[in-house]
Amino acid sequence: MQHTLIALVEDKPGVLNRVASLFRRRNFNIESLNVGKTENDKVSRMTLVMESEEFNARKLEANLYKLVNVIDVQDVTNQNAVTRDLALIKVSAKPGQRSEIASLASIFRAKIVDVAPDSVIVEITGTTDKIESLLELLRPIGVMEMVRTGKVAMTRGDTSGVRYVPGANGRHRLEDKIQSEVVD
């Protein structure tokens, strides 16, 4: 089963290496990894997607908590969450094929973001299934190159996705941790 984990980490050098090393040591393959800034400039958010059974995903989540720079970890696999992926797809396109490609792109709410004499680049954002469906239709035309960001996820509703279980990881809540750094 595919699991999606969200980890809030301190925005410091070496954190990504420590997280990736944990996956390597535990012999897990990261299917998708996305890291970016959050609303707090001292915190980054990692979205990690891996193929694993429930027990192993829980074990890995617990091991992530042990890493020094990890603030919070949440498995959003079975939660009510919004997930998206971004893809740029370069398609071989003679002038006569561009309208067909534009028509396919509009069906999927994708857009053409670049036009060259022999190709176009299509940008699509959505679920993995949506991107795969568009790719399937573009392959016969001629997909030359593709890049994807990997999945990003956010839980729905008024919760921030940050949770704190006292004693679960021996750490303070995110706000307390950041406040202590300001005081120090």
- pLDDT tens readout for residues 156-177: 887 555 554 433 444 444 555 5
Q: Is the pLDDT of residue 121 over 80?
A: yes
How far does Cα 7 stand from its chain's mean position? Answer: 11
Comparison of pLDDT for 62 and 170, the residue scoring more: 62
The three-class DSSP label of residue 40 is: coil
Dist CA 130 CA 147 (whole Å): 15
Q: What is the mean pLDDT of residues 36-64?
A: 91
- What are the pLDDT digits (tens) for 84-119? 999 999 999 988 899 999 999 999 999 999 999 999
Question: What is the rounded end-to-end Cα distance, in angstroms, of the chain?
Answer: 43
The overall longest dimension of the chain from CA atoms, in Å, is: 65
Which domains does the chain carry? 1-79 (3.30.70.260), 82-148 (3.30.70.1150)
pTM of the complete model:
0.77
Query: Strand 43-51 vs strand 2-10: parallel, antiparallel, or unpaired?
Result: antiparallel
